[in-house]
Amino acid sequence: MLKGSIPAIITPFSKGEVDYDSFEKLLKWQIKEGISGVTVCGTTGESPTLSHDEHMTLVEFAIKVASKKIPVIAGTGSNSTKEAIEFTKHAYKSGANYGLVVTPYYNKPNQLGLINHFKKIAKVTPLKQLIYNIPGRSIVDLSYESFKELNKVSNIVGIKDASNDLSRPLVMRTFMKKDFNYISGEDGTIAGYLAQGGHGCISVTANVAPKLTSKLHHYWQIKNYKEFDKVNLKLAPLSKILFTEPSPTPAKYALSLMGKCSSEVRSPLIGLSNDTKRQIKKIIKDLNFI
């Protein structure tokens, strides 16, 4: 089972190119800080602006750096089923532990189209699949009836849920397979999601605060709710500011202040306002990160 704090790792850039040296240092630091896994080439990794070659090279590189110390979840989704199949085949061949397959964006398929999409992708390899349900970005939302149908597919083993619907894990636990993984995709919903039966979070905040987010989940797992609440309150301002402007721009700026990588993002994303920069600097100073 997947559980705990799983950074949706950023993709560092330098002068327009992927900065693999910074990526390696960042991932090694996060592993040392106690993360439970890593997601590479997700939305936070700016996957929409990565070339296919960059995407595949990053997946291979992350697997090499992780060295089987933690599971690697490879972003393999696309709004093209054919393209998602190509990414999935590559992730499986490269040794990823899971594929993260987003609901197709822009096309707006109906529920039968969504079921067909995920079944076709799952069929091509034995790679375990997590469905990334994010209605806010993709416009489409998988229904409970669709999940019941996809529950029949043996290697569809979990959900990254960014719906902000905290009833979802509770309802799904009534009909999904017992070992199904319920992973939040929203840092602000972690407490509620875990309380309804969730297992962890694929997190933006964990990029900047891997030790604290790891402690947060550890305290939940050992049922130390008093310490959990303390850490959750401590992280709240950071989690909020990291979504004040389009992600991952705030996370990258925070990491640049911490000396981990450049704050560079790819267009159409742009740099932060001076006010947001000021707030981020204050928050990470308060956390003793700089």
**Would residue 55 count as lying in a domain?**
yes
- Of the candidates 86, 26, 33, 32, the residue with the CA atom closest to the CA atom of residue 55: 86
Q: What is the largest CA-CA distance in the chain?
A: 50
- Report, as an integer, the average pLDDT of 14-21: 97
Task: Give the model's pLDDT for residue 116.
Answer: 98
**Would residue 274 count as lying in a domain?**
no
Q: Is 92 marked active-site?
A: no
Q: What are phi and psi of 226, to 5 degrees?
A: -65, -45
Q: What is the separation of C-alpha 30 from the centre of its chain, rounded to a whole number of angstroms?
A: 14
Task: Give the model's pLDDT for residue 6.
Answer: 98
The active-site residue, picked from 3, 92, 128, 160, is 160
- Report, as an integer, the average pLDDT of 37-51: 97
Name the pLDDT band for 150 (thresholds 50, 70, 90).
very high
**Would residue 12 count as lying in a domain?**
yes
Query: Cα separation of 173 and 229, whole Å?
Result: 25
The residues, ordered by sequence, that sit 6+ positions from 262 with a Cβ below 8 Å of its Cβ are: 12, 13, 14, 19, 22, 252, 256
Sheet containing 181-184: order of strands: 4-7, 200-203, 181-184, 156-161, 128-133, 98-102, 72-75, 38-40
**Would residue 28 count as lying in a domain?**
yes
The active-site residue, picked from 92, 98, 132, 182, is 132
Sign (positive or negative) of CA dihedral 152, 153, 159, 163: negative
Token pair recorded at residue 23? 């990526």
Name the pLDDT band for 280 (thresholds 50, 70, 90).
very high
**Would residue 242 count as lying in a domain?**
no
| DSSP codes joined into one string, 24-35 | HHHHHHHHHTT-
Domain region containing 125: 4-224
Name the pLDDT band for 137 (thresholds 50, 70, 90).
confident
- Report, as an integer, the average pLDDT of 106-117: 96
Does the structure show a pLDDT above 90 at 136? no
Name the pLDDT band for 1 (thresholds 50, 70, 90).
confident
The residues, ordered by sequence, that sit 6+ positions from 192 with a Cβ below 8 Å of its Cβ are: 166
Q: How many domains are contained in the chain?
A: 1
**Would residue 237 count as lying in a domain?**
no
Q: Is 225 marked active-site?
A: no
pLDDT in tens, 204-240: 999 999 999 999 999 999 999 999 999 999 999 999 9
pLDDT in tens, 247-277: 999 999 999 999 999 999 999 999 999 999 9
Across the chain, mean pLDDT equals: 97
**Would residue 199 count as lying in a domain?**
yes
Helix-helix angle 210-221:225-241, to 10 degrees? 150
Task: Give the model's pLDDT for residue 31.
Answer: 98
- Report, as an integer, the average pLDDT of 149-154: 98
Query: Cα separation of 155 and 157, whole Å?
Result: 6
Does the structure show a pLDDT above 90 at 152? yes
CATH number at residue 18: 3.20.20.70
Task: Give the model's pLDDT for residue 180.
Answer: 98
Task: Give the model's pLDDT for residue 71.
Answer: 98
**Would residue 284 count as lying in a domain?**
no
Task: Give the model's pLDDT for residue 197.
Answer: 96
Query: Cα separation of 251 and 2, whole Å?
Result: 24
277 Rama class: left (phi>0) / alpha (psi -120 to 50) / beta:
alpha
Hey, what's the torsion of the CAs at 87, 138, 45, 126, to 10 degrees?
A: -30
Q: What is the pTM of this model?
A: 0.96
pLDDT in tens, 189-208: 999 999 999 999 999 999 99
The residues, ordered by sequence, that sit 6+ positions from 214 with a Cβ below 8 Å of its Cβ are: 4, 5, 33, 34, 35, 36, 206
Does the structure show a pLDDT above 90 at 38? yes
Angle (CA) 23 65 268, round 5°: 30
pLDDT in tens, 178-188: 999 999 999 99
